[in-house]
Amino acid sequence: MATSDRPGPTVFVLFGATGDLAKRMVLPAFATLAAGELLPKDWALVGNGRGDISHEEFREHVREALDKFGPHLPQRTWREFERRLYFAGGGFSGDNPGSLREVLEHARAKVGRDAQLVHYLAVPPVAFGPLTQALGAHGLTQRARVVYEKPFGTSPESFRRLNRTVQRVLDESQVYRIDHFLGKEATQNLHVLRFANELFGAMWNRRHIESVQIDVPEDLGIADRAGFYDATGAVLDMLVTHLFQVAAEVAMEPPASLDADGLQAARERVIRAFRPLNPAEVVLGQFTGYRDVPGVAARSRTDTFVAARLWIDNSRWRDVPFLLRTGKRMATSAQRVSIVLRTPGCPFTTLPQQTNVLSFSLSGAGEIDVDLLAKRPGVALDVEPATAALPLGALPDADPLPPYVRLIHDALLGDRSLFTRPDGLAAVWKVAQPLLDARPRPAVYAQGSWGPAQARKLAAPHRWLLGQ
């Protein structure tokens, strides 16, 4: 994983450093970058939180997080890693910077006075605005980048309010709105396979494609995220973030370039062609026992499942349904994009439906599968389904980066290609507005199932390719 393309001296400030997201995702990603020699030669990580713990106690917290969520660092690597970790307690607000400025001065003395700052907000969305204002109030925005976790706003109104706050404090070039699905290796292959291979690029339109399925079932529950999840739900946690962004990756027109400006503009342009959701084409669900989870309201109507039929009103995709589905406590976990090709007519007249499929597994290093019909060897002309698989991790010299690792590395380098823009997010909220204004009542579904039975009708006259 080593590379000569390393960022310059950096102080990485992790807000919410002792929280669940930092423990599960951000700190392991940062350690992976260190193990792969992808961090700057000179760097420091300053954790921030309301508690008042010592640098040594924070280092022990990080060690415990890595023991549980990886990666394992050899002792020599860990010793080099831990000496660059610091903690600034007392919180951080416009009125009270806690000890952050003092600790930053100490870290910059070690790293270099001209080191860039990368602020990572691994905190609940409600804290994004106040923290942004505090960064401006305390002069911590110069030579700085700010990474915002999703969701960037929890409603159209809160998005606009947060966006105004961010624009008053930061230049857009400093802002990195994260959506870790865009950092997945296989998500990036959605545009690479299409634009680098005319075999697929030529059929990427309504004439050849019958439907698109973006399916992200999860067998996991909400564990210790109950407070966050019950205030968010599947629509905000997954649909208006990950699934819409992946749909844009599939549907975008060829970008002018594959740099940040080209890719971002192409994604945002097609999102503006998304038709606002029709609540009659959306099914919400809640798994049995959800209200018994500690931290969940006794009468909660939070959705833990959503399936939706999305339409794109442009010449390439008109009348092609995009079927989106995700949920907690489902039969299995998967992350799959399926491009379902139309069934040929003459000379074959009785071919089975949904058997010509190009699919992308977004899990792990990713895999591309081609499902097709072939003649079964023998004297008869018998046609049977067959699958050809290309595991991306098996490619020569493959060195896949997990999505958080990739996106943090991009933020350190200043590459915004895989981050979202405010115009695209504004369009996303416009698409979601009818659903937010008239949410269907969540239907109860059994744990370990494929969600409410009503969701099957969204795929009619055919079926969901996963599970049903």
22, two tokens: 């930092």
For residue 386, what are the β-bridge partners?
372
Contact between 433 and 276 under an 8 Å Cβ cutoff? The reply is: yes
Q: Cis peptide before 347, with omega less than 30 degrees from 0? A: yes
The closest of 243, 257, 240 to 191, measured between CA atoms, is 257
Catalytic residue, from 61, 119, 191, 242: name it. 242
First to last CA, the chain: 40
Residues at the binding site are 16-23, 50, 150, 180, 184, 218, 237, 328
Instruction: Classify residue 112 as left (phi > 0), alpha (psi -120 to 50) or beta.
Output: left
Residues at the binding site for NADP(+) are 16-23, 50, 150
With the CA atoms of 172, 178, 184 and 187 taken in that order, what torsion angle do they form, in degrees rounded to the nearest 10? -60
Q: In Å, how far are 16, 241, 280, 455 from 181, measured between CA atoms?
A: 21, 9, 27, 23
Instruction: Classify residue 433 as left (phi > 0), alpha (psi -120 to 50) or beta.
Output: alpha
CA–CA separation, 27 and 405 (whole Å): 10
Residue 353: count other Cβ atoms within 10 Å of its Cβ: 12
Q: In Å, how far are 22, 54, 142, 407 from 135, measured between CA atoms?
A: 20, 23, 10, 22
Contact between 10 and 118 under an 8 Å Cβ cutoff? The reply is: yes
The closest of 426, 421, 418, 420 to 159, measured between CA atoms, is 426
13, two tokens: 């400030």
Contact between 253 and 266 under an 8 Å Cβ cutoff? The reply is: yes
Task: Write the single-letter amino acid at 183.
Answer: G
The yes-or-no answer on residue 208 being catalytic is: no
Just list the catalytic residues. 242
